[in-house]
Amino acid sequence: MPESATHPVINSLELVGRSTVKLIEEAGYYSALLVESLFWILAGPFIKRPVRISSIFSQMMTMGIAACPIVFVLSFSIGVMLAIQMIYNLKTFGAESQVVVGVALSVTREFGPLITGILIAGRTGSSLAAKIGTMQVNQEIDALRVMGINPVRYLVAPALFAMMIMVPVLTFFSDLAGLLGGAVYTSIEIGLSFDAYIDRTVSALAVADVMQGIFKSLLFALIITLVGVSNGFSVTGGAEGVGKATTRSVVLSISYIVIADMIFTYFLNL
Amino acid sequence: MMANNNSAAIEVIDLVTHYGPREILHGINLTINEGEIMIIMGGSGSGKSTLLRYLLGLGIPTSGSINLLGKDITKISNTEMHQLRQNMGVAFQGGALLSSMSIGENVQLPLREHTHLDEKTMEIMARMKLEVVNLGGFEKLMPAELSGGMIKRAAVARAIVMDPKLMFFDEPSAGLDPVVSAELDELILNLRDAMKMTIVVVTHELESAFKIADRITVLDQGNILMTDTVENIKNSDNERIQSLLNRRPSNDEVQADEYLNRLTGV
């Protein structure tokens, strides 16, 4: 073997190259899954092979409604924590009452969608990867194919549809829970009445602030679904493979969500 | 008794497939007649499961053609393939029942996807097919509540619910006790005789294969060694076939270099 082939620099470059190719391949796979899912959602009814409505509602229940309690608890806590930190900092300038504006903007523009995205990535993204991965291992995906049932139409499209509806809804719910947390702590700490808190929040917020978070949540829903199902479909090697795919799905989803959030926050606030 | 009218239901011509850079099937030619039970046998790594996957249209071959009921599945459109699949039934090795559905719902699934029958009719049809496989009354149970043999029979019920012309079995006897295995063999024979199906069975269970086969194809390292009747296969003087039938390694199989080459694909 030539000496240059084992040189650390060459090896590092090769590793970077392979990782880049893999990343591009994955991006292509996500895109193909997205296009195919959209095709079935939009064109399925016209070719008499619609996406199953019952599956969409069932997934909206498990992905969305069942997640409400945990979203409320986390978002309420984030609202309280934001209020604690902001009151502590604003006290220095004697401007504690401005905590309302800080909490309102932080929750609606950033923490509501981010916390919801991370929570759903851990809860639903992992569940999608595990479910599809197990089906892959048990040849259920092959069985669907040979029965003439397209797995993307049957499994991915309903999940994507449900996520695109429920993640923004959960984000809005998270916003409300976060604001409630801020209001409760503020009323206890600085004696600001609940009514006054709501009045100031409403006057501080513009529709665009809330919509910025909702727009991000749509993107997060896409990321969580596509990463989850693509990792599920790529499972090999039995139960161990399912475990690996599930872990990979959660780690990748959360990483992509945080990076996408940073990028979109920058561009939406130029 | 074989209902062979010598008209080909399945015709594989010069099939070559790859897994990554490695060639798995090296130009397979095989004809399976209508109403025939064809057993595909071979040792581990012989390519029999790969051949089944391509017969089911689950992969795109490197070259060659696969004609199912007169249609080359390597060339037909998705719509034609979708229609053709309604004439194909498959019982996978582990059953591959959808674990989130009851047995009855699993059996109804192809009807729900391909027909516009009302709920009651689908329920009746599913119950009838479950009775064919001796699982009448089990439709409300979930797959996790069934034994291995019952899961395989439920998978057969799902596979035959559309009354397909082609039926494929992947290792039907694997993991079953001899009694349940014999029951499944009887079921396969009944499907051929009563429902006039063309049946392909991938297996390495010799007893079962000899009992149900009209003809047997022996695969070895991606090549067909022989396709013939049970008697002729048994009487073959091919060393590799005899080593398979007698469950002993042939001389070259125990060579370390050959084994290493097979593992690495070099």
pLDDT in tens, B184-203: 999 999 999 998 999 999 99
Give the integer Cα–Cα distance in Å for B159 and B106. 10
DSSP string, A191-209: ---HHHHHHHHHHH--HHH
Which pLDDT value is given to residue B170?
A: 94
Measure the CA–CA gap between B102 and B116, rounded to whole angstroms.
21
Task: Compute the distance between CA of residue B97 and CA of residue B86 in angstroms, rounded to an integer.
Answer: 18
Question: Between chains, do A138 and B94 touch, taking CB under 8 Å as contact?
Answer: yes
CATH 3.40.50.300 fits B8-249, yes or no: yes
Q: Is B39 helix (H, G, I), strand (E, B) or coil?
A: strand
CB–CB contact A146 B86 (8 Å): no
Residue A86: name the closest of A67, A107, A65 by CA. A107
**Contacts with B57 from chain A: Cβ below 8 Å:** 145-146
C-alpha distance from residue B178 to each of A66, B189, B208 (Å): 47, 16, 9
Q: In 3-state terms, what secondary structure has residue A43? A: helix
Using CA coordinates, name the residue in chain B closest to A137.
B96
The answer to whether the CB of A119 falls within 8 A of the CB of A220 is no
Nearest to A146 among B90, B99, B114 (CB): B90
Q: State the number of CA atoms in the 13 A half-sphere of B109 facing the CB.
A: 28
Cβ contact B99–A149 (<8 Å): no
pLDDT of residue B215: 96
Which tokens in the block code for residue B105? 């719902």
Q: Which residues of B touch A (CB under 8 A)?
A: 53, 56-58, 81-82, 85-86, 88, 90, 92-94, 96-99, 109-110, 113-114, 158
Is this complex's ipTM strictly greater than 0.90? Answer: no
Q: How many CB atoms lie within 10 A of CB A264?
A: 16
How far apart CA A226 and CA A215 sit, in angstroms, is 17
Whole-angstrom CA distances from B47 to B15, B31, B141, B263 are 12, 17, 36, 14
- For residue B167, what is the nearest residue in chain A, using CA coordinates? A146
Averaged pLDDT for residues B225-238: 92
- Please state whether A196 falls in left (phi above 0), alpha (psi between -120 and 50) or beta: alpha
Collapsing DSSP to helix, strand or coil, B215 comes out as strand
Contacts of B96 in chain A (CB under 8 A): 138-140, 142-143
Q: Is A149 on the interface with B (CB under 8 A)?
A: yes
**Which of A158-162, B1-5, B255-259 has maximum average pLDDT?**
A158-162
Taking phi over 0 as left and psi of -120 to 50 as alpha, with beta for the rest, B257 belongs to: alpha
Q: Is the pLDDT of residue A1 over 50?
A: no
Of the listed ranges A24-38, A85-99, B88-102, the least confidently predicted one is A85-99
- The Cα A95–Cα B54 span in angstroms is 72
Position B266 pLDDT exceeds 80: no
- Distance separating alpha carbons of residues A47 and A39, to the nearest angstrom: 11
Give the mean pLDDT of chain A: 93
Cβ count near A71 (within 10 Å): 22
Mutate to test the interface with B, among A62, A144, A147, A150 (most CBs of B within 10 A): A147
CB B43 within 8 A of CB B204: yes
Report how many helices (DSSP H) and strands (DSSP E) chain A contains, helices first: 12, 0
For the cut 60, the answer to whether the pLDDT of residue A117 exceeds it is yes
Distance of residue A239 Cα from the nearest chain B Cα, in angstroms: 15
- What is the per-residue pLDDT for B5? 52
Each residue of B128-139: pLDDT tens digit? Answer: 999 999 999 999
Q: What is the pLDDT averaged over residues B205-225?
A: 93
For residue A147, give both structure tokens.
């029965």
Q: Which of A134, A140, A148 sits opposite B86 (nearest CB)?
A: A148
Give yes or no for a contact between B88 and B66, defined as CB atoms under 8 angstroms apart: no
Give, for B219, the enclosing helix (H) or strand (E): strand B215-220
Please tell me which of the candidates B57, B86, B92 has its beta carbon nearest to residue A139: B92
Mean pLDDT of chain B: 89
- Of residues B144, B38, B155, the one with CA closest to residue B95: B155
Query: Residue B164 pLDDT > 90, yes or no?
Result: yes
Residue A95: its pLDDT value, please?
A: 86
Phi, psi of B21 (to 5 degrees): -80, -10
- Model pLDDT, residue B252: 52
Q: What region, left, alpha or beta, does residue B95 occupy, with left being phi > 0 and alpha being psi -120 to 50 degrees? A: left
Tell me the Ramachandran region of residue B118: left when phi exceeds 0, alpha when psi lies from -120 to 50, beta otherwise.
Answer: beta
The stretch A61-88 carries a mean pLDDT of: 95
**What residue ranges do the domains of chain A occupy?**
52-268
- Which is higher by pLDDT, A4 or B52? B52
Per DSSP, A92 falls in state G
Q: How confident is the model at residue A92 (pLDDT cuts 50, 70, 90)?
A: confident
Do B184 and B152 touch, CB atoms closer than 8 A?
yes
Cβ of residue A134 closer than 8 Å to a chain B Cβ? yes
CA-nearest residue to B155 within chain A is: A143
Flag whether residue A145 sits within 8 Å of chain B, measured between CB atoms: yes
Strands annotated E in B76-197: 88-91, 166-170
| Domain ranges within chain B, ordered by starting residue | 8-249
Q: Can you say whether the dihedral through the CA atoms of B133, B137, B142, B147 is positive or negative?
A: negative
Strand-pair category, B37-42 with B22-33 = unpaired
| Predicted local distance difference test score (pLDDT) of residue B177 | 84
Per-residue pLDDT at B176: 84
Query: Does A146 contact B88 at a Cβ distance shorter than 8 Å?
Result: yes
| Cα angle for residues B156, B131, B145 (degrees, 5° grid) | 65
User: What's the confidence (pLDDT) of residue B265?
Assistant: 59
| pLDDT tens sequence across A15-61 | 999 999 999 999 999 999 999 999 999 999 998 889 999 999 999 99
